[in-house]
Amino acid sequence: MKLPRNFTRTYSHSFAARLTEAQLEQLFNAMSNGIKYADAATMARGWMKANAEAMPPGTPAGRMPAIPGGSAVGKWFKNQQAARRYLRKRDAARARAACTTETRHALEQARAAALLEGLKPTEIAAFERTELAREKLALEREKFASQALLKQAQSLLDRAKAGEKGPTLKRMIDLALEEIEKMQRGEA
């Protein structure tokens, strides 16, 4: 995921340059969960110190960044929020562009309905999954009914080929024809 330059610029004297990706992610998650900026700065200081001590001997440390304060961590956090919001919007736009016009139309209708009803996106997704499951179940039932009808027709054909005659066979054929007509009308 490539971000625009203004989101990816990390200066070498920044505290973020001295933390690993996992530490940055952990810091972002902690701040998202409501940790104070000063406490986040304390976490970052501890990690910076541990990372500096873990460097192999003789490795040039470079310019040591200033000890981060709450405001520096707060600015980094706001920048990260903006970057992640940008990524989500970009990914959503790509997904919308990749889907068919029918799907796009359905998404727009769902979004409009959600605004009218005050629903959350997760509730809409759960509703859509339920609707898809119902449609799939209806298709499975229709498939099962057509397979049963096909078996019945095959059985009748076998009996007719065997030379069986009589009112029972005629009645079974009539019932099978009625079932076929119902399926064609959409009643069964």
What residue ranges do the domains of the chain occupy? Answer: 5-98, 132-185
Q: What pLDDT score does 30 carry?
A: 92
CB of 36 within 8 A of CB of 70?
yes
Q: Is the dihedral of CA 140, 146, 149, 154 positive or negative?
A: negative
As a whole number of angstroms, the longest Cα–Cα distance in the chain is 102
Q: Could you give the CA distance from residue 29 to residue 116 in angstroms, rounded to a whole number?
A: 32
DSSP 69: -
Q: Could you give the CA distance from residue 14 to residue 53 in angstroms, rounded to a whole number?
A: 18
The 10 Å Cβ neighbour count of residue 107 is 16
> Amino acid identity of 114?
A
pLDDT by position in tens, the chain (length 188): 455 555 555 665 677 877 888 998 999 999 999 999 889 888 888 888 888 788 777 666 665 666 677 788 888 888 888 888 888 888 878 877 777 788 777 777 877 777 777 777 677 778 778 888 888 898 898 888 888 888 888 887 777 777 777 787 777 777 777 877 777 777 65
